A and B are shown apart, each in its own frame.
Chain A
Amino acid sequence: KAGVTQTPRYLIKTRGQQVTLSCSPISGHRSVSWYQQTPGQGLQFLFEYFSETQRNKGNFPGRFSGRQFSNSRSEMNVSTLELGDSALYLCASSLVGFSSTDTQYFGPGTRLTVL
């Protein structure tokens, strides 16, 4: 079974631009979560989607948004990019995510650099 895939793997943008990252979950998984990883703040939860609805949201500004499609694929968007948005963005999928016994499987991440 194919794992979680994320595209693109690397992105370079300039301040003020916007960016869209894509995540395809493991087949059959319906929950998709996004995390931001930076050297200073570590791994931080952005949001989670299930059945095309945002179910959980972390403490990030409104410039960070996401959506999920009927096939469970998810995208996240960052508008008006700032230098501090440079990070590794990780996507994780799980079967349903209702139970904490459900395991989240991570993709390889998208490395975003903002210049």
Chain B
Amino acid sequence: AQSVTQLGSHVSVSEGALVLLRCNYSSSVPPYLFWYVQYPNQGLQLLLKYTSAATLVKGINGFEAEFKKSETSFHLTKPSAHMSDAAEYFCAVTADGNNRLAFGKGNQVVVIP
């Protein structure tokens, strides 16, 4: 079974500063990894996904993530935080042939003006 770990439920970042959200995965087979964002009272929106092509994945809204097999990590970054980035972010994993996403606990990002 696959799983992901996200540390730090709440993350505060100053506007204009680097956003870094950590995700570590566990999988006995090659994983497929996703980052989703959830705004209040809304569903999940896909930010980006890793599917074994390039290890550096660029997503929407200036976010990117790097897959590091040796560290079993898929951390999400954005060089400069914007007020509109305030939301909850979820890392998720699945494996080939299985459409079942396993989510981390999420990071609530607060952007300080």
Q: Are B102 and A100 in contact (CB under 8 A)?
A: no
Q: Are B103 and A43 in contact (CB under 8 A)?
A: yes
Binary CB contact string for chain A from 40 to 65 against chain B (1 if under 8 A, 0 otherwise): 00111100100000011010000000
- Knowing A94-B99, A100-B94, A100-B98 are in contact, say whether A105-B51 is a contact too (CB < 8 A): no
Interface size on A, residues (CB 8 A): 28
Interface size on B, residues (CB 8 A): 25
Q: Is residue A87 contacting chain B, with contact meaning CB distance below 8 A?
A: no
Complex interface: chain B residues within 8 A of A31 (CB): 99
Q: Is residue A109 contacting chain B, with contact meaning CB distance below 8 A?
A: yes
Complex interface: chain B residues within 8 A of A58 (CB): 100
Say which residue of B41, B44, B98, B103 sits within 8 Å of A56 (CB atoms): B98
Complex interface: chain B residues within 8 A of A97 (CB): 99
Complex interface: chain A residues within 8 A of B42 (CB): 108-109
Say which residue of B43, B100, B105 sits within 8 Å of A42 (CB atoms): B105
Complex interface: chain A residues within 8 A of B43 (CB): 4, 90, 106-109
Q: Is residue B113 contacting chain A, with contact meaning CB distance below 8 A?
A: no
Q: What is the CB-to-nearest-CB distance from A29 to chain B, in angstroms, rounded to a whole number?
A: 11
Most chain A CB atoms below 10 A, which of B42, B43, B92, B105: B43
Q: How far is the CA of A42 from the CA of B45 in the complex (A)?
A: 16
Q: Are B99 and A100 in contact (CB under 8 A)?
A: yes
Q: A interface vs B, CB < 8 Å?
A: 4, 31, 33, 35, 42-45, 48, 55-56, 58, 90, 92, 94, 97-109
Write 15 A-B pairs (CB below 8 A) sorted by A numbering.
A4-B43, A42-B104, A42-B106, A43-B90, A43-B101, A44-B103, A45-B101, A45-B102, A48-B100, A97-B99, A100-B94, A104-B99, A105-B46, A106-B45, A108-B42
